[in-house]
């Protein structure tokens, strides 16, 4: 159920982003922007659209919030891959934007994808009430900016040159910002669009986001570049503190498992309507992608 | 009148941005974000707040749109100064962010300042009607994104490596995107906030923006680094087409003068209420800053 919905969501988001990028025609950035916004798991889009569907919100509406968060995520990846940041040459199994084009293009593509994210949220298709769309602009800005995702990135960069490795508490905070904030925004989006209480989805997303990051660290040690689509072993090589270095491989797996239980429990009140979201939580820690 | 209002506007915008950055506390990006968003002429903020005041909109409201466009402008400068872009080490008379800190910090500071710009526009203080705030989010996204300012930046980067210098038509289009779009958004903001017709301000800003850029090219040839606060002669050194290389120094000055007349004429219907905006147009071509 989760896998089918994920594929379905991915298709809808691709179409939506293609529509947003259509007016760019053959402008210099059109091609690298399309390239950078294609592919990926679309987990954030799934969280938006499934949490929305669970509240009776149509895909035709929620897809704009899904496209927004995927554009924003894509921007963060393009900038994160830059030589001055993580210096990655492979992303989603393809050359990164600065490798395929150049660094200037990668900076500008990331910039324009961030702008596109906010533009998606202004579409009347998302919600008839401008107040709701504006609230989503404000919350996405908070989740992704200098007190959210970008702060997590900055902490991550600072950790690279720090003489003392991060503690478990510090790395948990860092990840809650770097990946957790956007995952949280995505899961809560459905409740926000429906005017429902986002609290259960907030708890679900907090557990899911952390489980996701712990699994990323596990895959970095035990994964396979052919399956993950990115270089592995680089965190360990860099001597960075990770959930695996702090908890051990078994400890990290146990923690991820217990977080998935927390995520499932958080959605209890939704009963069967939350089946796909529960499956997503289990998938996140079992994935090899 | 213009100079006093410019100083007044600058003070209000500084206070507004300081308030927005306050919750960041001592987070890694707080200091470089404050650094990057300080100073500058604040011409865009002036255009927002003066066009708003001319329509009876209070400073307490319009300052949020002014802060938004200045945060957005600051982000574009930080990224534009990066080694992979214009590679500038001096901005507003101070070391650029990547020189004072490092490239990763400059990428992240720019990213977070863009986010902050959109966040400013969600403030209820800007306008009681969410529909108006949302329209400003949408129009700022269009003006600054991959079909606006960032497209102009990309055309500028492409021109650096082109074998044939740009024509007058191409450079005019490039500048209309790179600097004109944001100047246009700023000048129109007052009419949008008041629900008035933005057309006269659109014509004013189109002429002003082009005059501004022509003057920039003149200053690059005939200016003084101590006064402009940035390195001069670099476009000529790089063999780039500029308004001066295409029109000659006298031709460029004549064109800038005639554009200022166009800008003044566009505001005729406003009578004396537009005095400061008219002075701004004359200032733009006489400035040595």
Identify the structural domains of chain A with CATH numbers, from first to last.
2-286 (1.10.600.10)
Structure tokens at A285: 């820690």
The alpha-carbon gap from A122 to the nearest alpha carbon of chain B, in Å, equals 6
Q: Which of B29, B76, B150 sits opposite A150 (nearest CB)?
A: B29
Q: Are A157 and B108 a contacting pair at CB < 8 A?
A: yes
B-chain residues near A75 (CB < 8 A): 111
CA A132/CA A123 separation, integer angstroms = 11
B-chain residues near A158 (CB < 8 A): 28
Whose tokens are 């609230």? That residue is: A135
**A98, HSE (Cβ side, Cα atoms, 13 Å):** 22
Structure tokens at A241: 């503190």
Classified as helix, coil or strand, B91 is: strand
Structure tokens at A176: 């809650």
Q: What is the pLDDT along chain A (289 residues), one digit of tens a residue?
A: 899 999 999 999 999 999 999 988 888 899 999 999 998 889 999 999 999 999 999 999 999 999 999 999 999 999 999 999 999 999 988 999 999 999 999 999 999 999 999 999 999 999 999 999 999 999 999 999 999 999 999 999 888 888 888 999 999 999 999 999 999 999 999 999 999 999 999 999 999 999 999 999 999 887 665 555 555 566 656 667 899 999 999 999 999 999 999 999 999 999 999 999 999 999 988 875 3
Query: Contact B205/B191 with Cβ under 8 angstroms?
Result: no
The alpha-carbon gap from A153 to the nearest alpha carbon of chain B, in Å, equals 8
A-chain residues near B36 (CB < 8 A): none
Q: What is the ipTM of this complex?
A: 0.94
B-chain residues near A133 (CB < 8 A): 130, 134
Q: Are B29 and A107 a contacting pair at CB < 8 A?
A: no
Choose among B278, B156, B162: nearest CA to B217.
B156
Q: Are A150 and B102 a contacting pair at CB < 8 A?
A: no
Q: Which of A28, A115, A138 sits opposite B145 (nearest CB)?
A: A115
Number of A–B residue contacts, CB under 8 Å: 157
CA-based radius of gyration for chain A: 18
Q: Which of A108, A138, A155 sits opposite B122 (nearest CB)?
A: A138
B-chain residues near A130 (CB < 8 A): 129-131, 133-134
Q: Which of A141, A142, A151 sits opposite B27 (nearest CB)?
A: A151
């Amino acid at each position: 159920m989760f896998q089918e919905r994920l594929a379905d969501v991915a298709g809808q988001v691709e179409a939506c982003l293609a529509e947003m990028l259509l007016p760019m025609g053959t402008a210099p950035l059109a091609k690298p922007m399309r390239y950078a916004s294609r592919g990926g798991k679309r987990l954030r889009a799934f969280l938006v659209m499934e949490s929305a569907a669970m509240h009776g919100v149509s895909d035709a509406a929620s897809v704009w919030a899904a496209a927004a968060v995927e554009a924003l995520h894509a921007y963060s990846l393009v900038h994160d891959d830059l030589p001055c940041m993580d210096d990655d040459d492979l992303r989603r199994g393809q050359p990164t934007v600065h490798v395929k084009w150049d660094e200037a293009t990668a900076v500008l593509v990331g910039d324009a994808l961030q702008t596109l994210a906010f533009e998606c949220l202004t579409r009347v298709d998302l919600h008839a009430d401008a107040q709701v769309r504006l609230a989503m602009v404000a919350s996405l800005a908070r989740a992704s900016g200098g007190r959210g995702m970008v702060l997590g990135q900055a902490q991550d960069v600072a950790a690279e040159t720090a003489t003392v490795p991060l503690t478990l508490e510090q790395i948990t905070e860092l990840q809650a910002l770097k990946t957790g904030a956007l995952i949280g925004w995505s899961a809560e989006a459905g409740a926000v669009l429906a005017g429902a209480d986002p609290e259960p989805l907030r708890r679900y997303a907090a557990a899911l986001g952390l489980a996701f990051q712990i699994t990323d660290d596990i895959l970095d040690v035990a994964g396979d570049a052919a399956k993950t689509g990115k270089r592995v072993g680089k965190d360990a090589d860099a001597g960075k503190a990770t959930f695996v270095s702090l908890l051990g491989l078994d400890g990290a797996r146990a923690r991820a498992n217990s977080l998935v239980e927390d995520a499932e429990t958080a959605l209890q009140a939704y009963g069967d309507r939350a089946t796909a979201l529960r499956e997503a939580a289990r998938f996140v820690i079992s994935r090899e992608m």
